[in-house]
Chains A and B, each alone.
Chain A
Amino acid sequence: MDSLTPKRLVELQTHANDVRQGIVRSLLAAGSGHSAGSLDMADVFTALYFHVLRHDPANPEWPERDRLLLSCGHIAPVRYSAMAYAGYFPVEELLTLRRFGTRLQGHPERVSLPGLETTSGPLGEGLAQGTGMALAAKMDGKDGRVYVVTSDAEHQCGLHFEAMMTAPKFKLDNLTCIVDRNFIQIDGSTEDVMPLEPLADKYRAFNWDVHECDGNDISAFIETEARARRIAGKPHVIIAHTVPGKGVSFMEGDYLWHGKPPKADEAAAALRELTAGREALTAHV
């Protein structure tokens, strides 16, 4: 189950392409929002929603489900898009992002949309809540797993370090923290704003099971996750190295796309590029 067949991989890559198109369309419709991190996490969210997670879009409150928390709520577009394509709600609803009356709030709200495990936006809070959920599962003898997606820059928050210290105490091997290591934040490079390196060593020092992979390589991420979940007695962290803006050439690697949406012509160019990429993928099959 750990390695994917070539056909399955293309299938997942095609889903990721759809998710990216959903991100671009929703950000254009909203007129505001965060492009770079949303796009760079499309592969991870596709892997999670279409392969890794035990979940049921028709029954979001299924008690046996795995839970996925998005700690860095500002990349909500990738979560919404992945959820839509996974079947939680109609894809057309993505165009309501950030609009008055929408279920797709600018930052995700648990009470607004079934399938969200928590409200997020204020940074540094996801791992703490995931620690609570994972501990509750241990207390109740449930085997559902808890995944928390975090940005790299939110490792600058004190509360995240409180959670890094707490989770190993309770041996939460049902908890996985996924770090979007794209090296950017609003004011520039993470290493200029407030250095995070050596990030993996920080987790090791706090007694985590530590993994790194290319976060834009779906099969690498899936293999890494499968390897991590076999390690007992420790919480897991997967530092997923990603390229900000991945999939849209003129956004890739540029921190200025962290917090802004594409304009109409930029979105059109992005969608042309993604459409061509999707056609190339399906031609492979």
Chain B
Amino acid sequence: MSSTQSPPAPAAMHLVDYTNPEAVKQVPTRNGFGEGLIEAGRRDPAVIAICADLAESTRMEPFKNAFPDRYIEIGVAEQMLVAMAAGLAAAGKIPFIASYAMFNPGRSWEQVRTTMALNQTNVKIAGAHAGVSVGPDGATHQAIEDIAIMRVIPKMTVVVPCDAVQTKKATLAVAAAWGPTYLRFGRAESAVVTTDETPFELGVAQTLRAGTDVAIVACGILVYDALLAAEELAKDGIAARVVNNHTIRPMDEAAIVAAARDCGAVVTVEEHQVHGGMGSRVAEILAARHPVPIEFIGVHDRFGQSGSPHELIAEYAMDASSIAAAARRAVQRKAALRGSLL
């Protein structure tokens, strides 16, 4: 992939009319995982599911019912979940292991590194209930560090799809592609902006909206908020490009550099700590290849707390208006920078 390659035109993305609330369905991304897993099981008999006492909430239950001989329940044992899966994978299986992201991979990081990644086994971690949007359970159950701890492990694929439809496609894609993988999804009802026709390819970021004033690079359920922010910015005459950066590793560097080059300012958006996550990777790429002002949307050095998903997204300044405000700051910094260079 060369850095001069243009991203696909947004028109080819077949999005729903996200500006019309009536047209936007609300479905948890975990549902897409459940649908994708059962389809992956139909396509490949090597696909198995291992669960740590959360079959219903991780959406593994339909797989359990469809393929009881390929479903393994091990109870509340997240280190076991990873290490046992590594053994099954070493014997030729393609295990999907599911629990809450806080525990899988949160509790099992060293097992992930040694038995799964260093060992080069084909295990797929499914981290459910990620982000603050899991809501009332509070800080202990809100994984907002998981992208950081997974993306530092060599050769680990990290995928954060934007909605339920894309989560299904991502699940199928990671089942078909060899390699240790972390797939992250959430519990809250969230906007479905892509359709069955929307293309999806691991490692290829998607330009969902054209623009050259500022690039909003987002992942996960906040991609919808990024699109709404772009609408808000358009009313001020700011044309924001929106990039769905669903694969955090390996990241689509060409799309990131093209966005920075074309727009001159970037906002990163993720339901995660700003330290070490998707935005940090974007900053690493741009610092090396095309430095521009960057604003970071995410949780800033705090833990989560109880609340509704909506309340929490607002409290941690990850909603559309916060994204739009960050974009305006980025545009101002770009202008100031250009002024200082004149």
Contacts and interface: CB of A to CB of B under 8 A. Distances in A.
Interface of A: 109-111, 117-122, 125, 128-137, 139-140, 158-159, 162-163, 165-166, 169
Contact of B111 (A136, A159, A165): A159
B212 interface: no
Interface string B84-96: 1111111111010
Q: Mostly helix, strand, loop or mixed at chain B's interface?
A: helix
A133 B83 contact: no
Interface pairs A-B: 8 shortest CB-CB: A132-B87, A136-B91, A128-B83, A129-B87, A162-B80, A132-B84, A132-B88, A162-B77
Given A132-B86, A133-B88, A162-B77, A125 B114 contact: yes
Contacts of B19: none
Interface residues on B, range: 20 to 34
A166 B51 CA distance: 13
B80 A163 contact: yes
B120 A166 contact: no
Given A139-B69, A162-B80, A117 B90 contact: yes
Contact of A135 (B72, B86, B111): B72
B109 to A, nearest CB: 11
Contacts of A129: 83-84, 86-87, 90, 115
B114 A119 contact: yes
Contacts of B56: none
Interface string B66-108: 0001101011010110011111111111010000000000000
B118 interface: yes
B315 interface: no
A132 B90 contact: yes
A128 B115 CA distance: 10
A139 B69 CA distance: 8
Given A110-B119, A132-B88, A132-B90, 13 more contacts: A111-B119, A118-B115, A119-B114, A129-B90, A132-B83, A133-B87, A133-B88, A139-B93, A159-B79, A159-B111, A162-B79, A165-B77, A169-B74
A135 B91 CA distance: 9
Given A122-B114, A132-B85, A135-B72, A166 B90 contact: no
A140 B114 CA distance: 26
A128 B80 contact: yes
Contacts of A122: 110, 114
Contact of A128 (B69, B75, B84, B110): B84
